[in-house]
Amino acid sequence: MKGIYFFWLVFCVTLYWIYYLYNAFLMNLLVALLLCMATFGLKNILLKYLKYEVLAAFFSTVILVLILIVPVVFVFNSLIALIQGADLAGFNTIIDTLKNELLEWSSAIPELQPRLKDALSKISGSEIFSYILNFSSIVGRRSLEFIIDTGFIVVFLFFFYFYGVRLYNYILSLIPFEKQQVQSIFDEVLGVLKVVCYTSVLNVVLQGVSFGIAIAFFGYDGLFFGVLYGFCSLIPVVGGTLVWLPLACYELYLGEYNVALFIALYSMIFIAFVIDNLIKPLIIKVMTTKILKTSLQINEMLIFFAILAGLSAFGFWGIVLGPIITALFIALLRVYKKIIFPFREDFKHYAMKN
């Protein structure tokens, strides 16, 4: 008996040092694991044609890197070129013109004008421009960290593809549940993960394309602003406002009030409300039942609200973590019910009859 206590003591101490040792890589490991789980079907498809595990894992990793990294590099390079080519004097002129326009509009509300004038006096084009430059320098410094993290994620992703089945079987042998119960939990979590990942990608594409096409009619680069809007739509709270608001302000400066109003209303009503709040739940439902054909025992609206809760709690990665935690909890509740209360399977029918 004392041997068991000693074992658990040594095990807990070792587990702590394992955590301490790999703590810096945990998020990279988690991201790679989630990407692998969501796209493991791609690796299985390639394996049918390539026949070798290592080749299937390698090309799966390459395809995923091209899909995810190339758009990021495109946006990053375009933003750098945009900032480098910016004219400070012209930017100051735009800000001053917008401030004067706002003061003229506020003249209709005398109570508001003094407060607005005081607030606008604290805003200057040079301060905003310096803030943008400081932010870009921070991004530049963080870019090295981003490249390193991306490199580790790519390496971990390859090994998860290559050793995925063996790792899954080994973990399966360690869990003190029946194999069928573990499989049901895994299927539930995996199904939710696929739905969330594919829905998020489709939502990004849909919002980016919708904005890119609309903005191209006014002479802007539809490809750049569409891709930029798609990425910004993943940012919690602000989302695509980071893209459409500066463009609307620029159109106000040019005196194109109708264009500015269209950009603002189109972005807020059609993209932010209709696509994100009405179409997105429908996409989740279609993705679940028609495309992935996953028999999830979790409501589509619950997945949608889990995404919102995840964004609030975890930020960007909450898009995936929120639904996964929710699905895992619900799946564990089902296992608990089957183990502890197996005789209550028909309780619902009994209650309905009485």
What are the boundaries of each domain within the chain? Answer: 22-174, 176-340
pLDDT of 140 > 90? The answer is no
pLDDT of 350 > 50? The answer is no
Q: How far apart are CA 239 and CA 323, in angstroms?
A: 20
Please give the pLDDT value at position 183.
79
Task: Indicate the pLDDT class of residue 352, thresholds 50, 70 and 90.
Answer: very low
Q: How far apart are CA 108 and CA 81, in angstroms?
A: 41
Q: How far apart are CA 137 and CA 142, in angstroms?
A: 9
Instruction: Read off the pLDDT of residues 58-98 as tens digits, 9 standing for 90 and up.
Output: 999 999 988 887 887 787 777 777 766 666 666 677 777 77
Q: How far apart are CA 256 and CA 242, in angstroms?
A: 20
What integer is the mean pLDDT of 109-127?
68
Q: How far apart are CA 171 and CA 97, in angstroms?
A: 63
Token pair for 263: 């950009």
What integer is the mean pLDDT of 329-333?
79
Maximum average pLDDT range among 26-35, 113-122, 208-217, 276-285: 208-217
pTM above 0.75, yes or no: no
Look-up of token digits 């279609």: 286
What integer is the mean pLDDT of 223-252?
84
CA nearest neighbour of 253 among 97, 33, 78, 61: 97
- DSSP letter at 298? S
Please give the pLDDT value at position 160.
93
Please give the pLDDT value at position 354.
44
The three-point CA angle 74-77-82 to 5° equals 120
CA nearest neighbour of 208 among 222, 223, 229: 229
Contact 264/248 with Cβ under 8 angstroms? yes
CB-based contacts of 143, cutoff 8 Å, min separation 6: 76
Q: Tell me how far CA of residue 168 lies from CA of 22, 129, 178, in angstroms.
A: 20, 51, 15
Please give the pLDDT value at position 340.
67
Q: How far apart are CA 191 and CA 179, in angstroms?
A: 18
Give the lowest-confidence range in 13-27, 35-49, 117-131, 288-302.
288-302
Please give the pLDDT value at position 106.
67
Task: Indicate the pLDDT class of residue 238, thresholds 50, 70 and 90.
Answer: confident
Average pLDDT, the chain: 79
Q: Which residue has the higher pLDDT, 55 or 3?
A: 55
Length of the chain: 354
Q: How far is CA 128 from the centre of its chain?
A: 28
Give the lowest-confidence range in 221-225, 328-332, 340-344.
340-344
Task: Indicate the pLDDT class of residue 174, thresholds 50, 70 and 90.
Answer: confident
Q: How far apart are CA 353 and CA 136, in angstroms?
A: 66
Token pair for 294: 């996953």
pLDDT of 108 > 90? The answer is no
Look-up of token digits 């490991």: 29
What integer is the mean pLDDT of 221-245?
84
pLDDT of 155 > 80? The answer is yes
CA nearest neighbour of 139 among 193, 98, 83, 190: 83
